[in-house]
Amino acid sequence: MGLECINFKKAKAVLLLCLVLFSTIGQAGQPLDKVSLQLNWKYQFEFAGFIMAKEKGFYEDEGLDVELLEYQENTQIVNAVLGQQAKYGLLNSSIAIAEKKILPTVLMATYLQQSPLVIVASKNIKHPADLIGKKLMGAEEELRFGLLALMLDYFSVNKRNTQFIPHSFSIKDFAEHKVDAMTAYNTNEVFELDRQGIEYNTLDPQDYGFSITALNLFTSFPEATNHPERARKFIAASNKGWRYAIDHPDEAVQVIIKQYSSKKSVEALKFEAAVVKKLMLLDFFEIGEANKDLSLRLVKQLKKAGLLMESEQLGAFLFKDVVDDFSLNNDFTEEQLLYLNAKKEITMCVDPQWMPFEGIEGAKHIGIAADVIKGFEKLLPIPIVLNVTDSWASSIAKGKTRECDIFSLVAETPERLEFMDFTKPYLTLPVVLATKVTKPFIANLTQIKSRPVGVVKGYAIAEKLRNSMPGINIVDVESINDGLERVRRGELYGYIDNLMTISNSIQKEFTGQLKVSARLKENLSLGLSTRNDEPLLNDIFSILVKTVDEEKLQPIYNKWVVVEQNETIDYGVIWKLGLAFLLISFLYLYHYLHNRRLKKELIKLSTTDKLTGLENRLKTDELLLKRMEDLKRYEVDTSIILLDIDFFKKVNDQYGHLAGDGVLVEFSQILTHNVRVTDSVGRWGGEEFLIICPNVDVKAATLLAEKILDKVRAHSFVGVGLITASAGVSGFSKELSVTDVLGLADKALYQSKVSGRDRVVAT
C-alpha cells in the first residue's frame, strides 16, 4: 500500500512536470509582439529600467520583443510615435505642445517625478533675475517651452534683455567663460563640472515653485485604444525593469557599458544612478505613477506664460482614462494604419455658415460638428486640417476637385455619390419652413408650391424636394442668414432648413419677425463623407462614427445650442413640440448648474472675500501658519508682500463707494494675473492685500512686487483712471513668529508710504 502510494505520487509529479514543460514549450513557440521605444537621448542610466527589462527578459515574459531606439540628431520623438514609426516614446514633459496647442499623446507612466533640467551659472549669478544682461546657452526648446521657459518668463528673462546662445552640448564653453550660464542636467553635466573642479551655482526651477515631471512614457491614441493589453504589458514590464535597475545599480551600469554605450565612465553612470533614484521620489510615488495634478498645473502655468493658447484643454490624457473613455470596438487594421501614415494629414471641408452645427471663425472650425471631429482626431495618428472656404457651394466644389478628403457633416444625395462615400448618419433632424410671423401655419408644402422658398445652394434638402415635388419654386441662397433676411424683407415666402439651425438663427437675429410655420415630412440624416477614390478612408471614419452616441452628443448640444424663451412670440405648436426635448434638457442643465454653483459658493463662503473673490483673512492666516510649518520642517523659504492702494479714501470720497469697490476688484485681478500658480493672494483688510510666495526669498519677492506696481501704474481703472500702490516685503525665519514676519512687512509698507508711496520697501 505504501509503495503504491509513493509510486502514485511520483507519477503525479512527473505528470505535473510534463504539463509545465509542454506549457512552456507552447508559449515559447508563440511569436513575440514586436514594438519599439524611442528614447529621448543617448544610452545612459536614465534609461536603465527599460534596458534591464529587455536584458532580464521581463518584456519577453509579457510576449513582447522590444527595440530600444537611441536618440539621433533631429529625431522628432512625438512625430515618430504619432506617426506609428515607434509604438512608445519618452518625453521630459507629461504633455506635448506644438504651436501653442496640446498634441494628442497618451501618458502611460512617469519615472522621474522631478525634472533634472537646471541652469548652471557662474558664481556671481545667484538668482534667475541675475541672468538679465548675460549670455545663456541652451537648446531652443528648453528656453522657449517647458520648465526653464516658465522660470525665465516669471523673472522677465527674455531675448530682449538676455543673449540666448544655441547649446553646444558641451561644458567647454561654460568652463572657458564664453557663456555666463547654460542649461544642464543634474544627472550628467553637473558630474563633469564637479569632476573638473569648475565652480558654478545651480538655478533649479523646483526652488522657485515650478514643478514638472521627466522621463514620461507616452503613446498615441490609436495604440492605447486599439492595443490596450499590449500597452499594459509594456508598462508592467518597464516598471519591473526599473525596480530591478534601482535595486541592482552596479549590474545595470555594467550592462549599459558592455552592451549599449561606453561613452560615460562607471563613476559617471553610478553618479547618474544615485540622482535618478532621488528624482523618482520613491518614498512618495510608486514606480511609474503618473501625477495628473502636476500636468493640470503645468497647463495653467503654460497658459499664464503665453506658451499655450487659453482655449486649449487637456481632456483625457492618462492611459487608463483614455482606454475607458475612447476605446474603440473595432481596431484599425494594419492596412488602414499604413494608409494613414503615408497620407500624413486629412483635409476637411465644412459649411462655413451653418451654426450651431458648424462654422468657420478666424480660420477655425467651430460648432457641434467641430467638437465631434476633435474627438475623432484624438483617435487618429495624423491631424485633420481645415480647408477654409467662404460658402457651402465653394466647399462642394473643392470636394469635386479632390481638395477635401472629408466633409464633417453632410447628407447623402445621388449627385454627391458621384464623388463622395458616406458613413452612417450620426445626427437626424426634422426639417422645417420658416416664414414671417404673419403667415399662417401650413400642413403641406403643396399649399405653397408656387411660392418662392429659399434653400442654401448645394444643400441636400433642395435636391430631395425637387425630386419628390417637381415644380416646387426653390430659390438658391448663399447662407441661412441670407435666406432668412430675404424672408424678412418679403423677397421669399419662406426658408427651409433643419429645426435646430433655424430656431437658433431666429432667436439670435429675427426674434418677433420670423417663425416656424411647417414641419416637413422629410428628416435630415447627417453623417460624415469621404472622397470615394480612397475607400480605406471611409472604412476608417465608419469605425470612428460608431463611437458617437447620444450620451456624447448631449454635452456638445448643451455647449452650442442656446434656447431663449420670449413670451410675446408665438412660434406655433409645431415648433414648440419640436423644441420640447431640447427645452427640457436645457432646463435640467440649468437647474443642475445652478445647484452646483450654489453648493460651490457655500463651500467657498467661509474662506473667500465676497467682493474680490480672493482668499479672506481667515484663509490667509491659515496659509501663513502652514508655510511657517513648512519652513520649520522642510526649510522651505517663504516671503510675503503686503500691498496697500495709495489714497484709497480719496477714491471713495470723490467717485463713490461703488467706484471704490470696482477699483478693489480690478486691483485684485492685477495681483492674481501676475503671480505664480503656487502663490496665494488674499484680501488682508480694506484696501490692503497680502501675497504669500513659497520657495522665494526676499530679493525675488521684491522683484515680483516691483513688477506688480508697474502693472498697477499702467492700468486705467474704470471710472477712476490711474492710481498707485505701495508694498512692503519680508521673509519667514525660524527665529520669528508669523506675527513678527507680518509686523516686519507692515513696517516696510509704512516706510514705503512715508517715503513718498508708489514704491517697494523690503526688510
pLDDT band per the 50, 70, 90 thresholds, residue 599 = low
Among 291-300, 522-531, 679-688, whose mean pLDDT is lowest? 291-300
Please name each of the domains of the chain with its CATH number: 31-113+214-304 (3.40.190.10), 117-208 (3.40.190.10), 427-526+563-585 (3.40.190.10), 617-762 (3.30.70.270)
Q: What is the mean pLDDT of the chain?
A: 85
Question: In this structure, what C-alpha cell is assigned to residue 510?
Answer: 429675427
pLDDT tens for 138-161 read 887 677 767 888 889 888 898 999
Q: Tens digit of pLDDT for each residue in 164-193?
A: 999 888 899 999 999 999 999 999 899 999
Contacts 24+ apart (CB under 8 A), 131-134: 131/155, 131/157, 131/162, 131/180, 131/181, 131/203, 132/156, 132/157, 132/161, 132/162, 133/161, 133/162, 134/162, 134/163, 134/180, 134/181
Convert the pLDDT of each residue in 542-596 to its tens digit.
Answer: 989 888 877 778 888 878 875 443 333 444 545 555 555 566 556 656 655 655 6
What pLDDT score does 155 carry? Answer: 84
Residue count (the chain)? 763
- Those residues whose C-beta lies under 8 Å from the C-beta of residue 28, and which sit 6 or more positions away, are none
Closest by CA position to 137, among listed 95, 97, 96, 189? 189
Residue 532 phi, psi dihedral angles, 5° rounding = -85, 0
What's the pLDDT band for 698 if we cut at 50, 70, 90? very high
Helix/strand/coil for 35: strand
- pLDDT on residue 619: 82
What is the rounded CA–CA span in Å between residue 525 and residue 655?
A: 60
Q: Residue 58: pLDDT band by 50, 70, 90 thresholds?
A: very high
Across 307-315, average pLDDT: 82
- pLDDT over 50 at 109, yes or no: yes
Supply the pLDDT for residue 591: 56
The pLDDT, as a whole number, for residue 573 is 47
The pLDDT, as a whole number, for residue 657 is 78
Confidence band of 301 (pLDDT split at 50, 70, 90): confident
0.85 exceeded by pTM:
no
Nearest Cα residue to 53 out of 44, 64, 41, 39:
64
Residue written as grid cell 454627391 = 416
Segment 615-671, tens digit of pLDDT: 888 788 888 988 888 888 778 889 999 999 999 988 888 888 788 889 999 999 999
Contact present, 300 and 673 (Cβ < 8 Å) = no
User: Does the structure show a pLDDT above 70 at 66?
Assistant: yes
**Cα 276 from chain centroid?**
28
For 616, which DSSP code? -
Highest mean predicted confidence (pLDDT) among 48-62, 72-86, 220-234: 48-62
Confidence at residue 511, expressed as pLDDT on a 0 to 100 scale: 82
Cα distance between residue 287 and residue 276, in whole Å: 12
CA 402/CA 424 separation, integer angstroms: 21
In this structure, what is the dihedral angle of CA atoms 297, 298, 303, 306, given to the nearest 10 degrees? 150
The grid coordinates listed for 179 are 557663456
Residue 268 pLDDT greater than 90, yes or no: yes
* HEC readout, 160-205: CCCEEEECCCCCHHHHCCCCCEEEEECCCHHHHHHHCCCCCEEECH
Cα–Cα dist 529/538, whole Å: 7
Average pLDDT over residues 290-300: 83
User: Is residue 414 predicted with pLDDT exceeding 90?
Assistant: no
Q: Which of 128, 275, 115, 268 is nearest to 201 (CA)?
A: 128
Looking at residue 59, its pLDDT comes to 97
pLDDT of residue 22 exceeding 80, the answer is no
pLDDT at residue number 677: 83
As a whole-number percent, the residues of the chain with pLDDT over 70 amount to 89
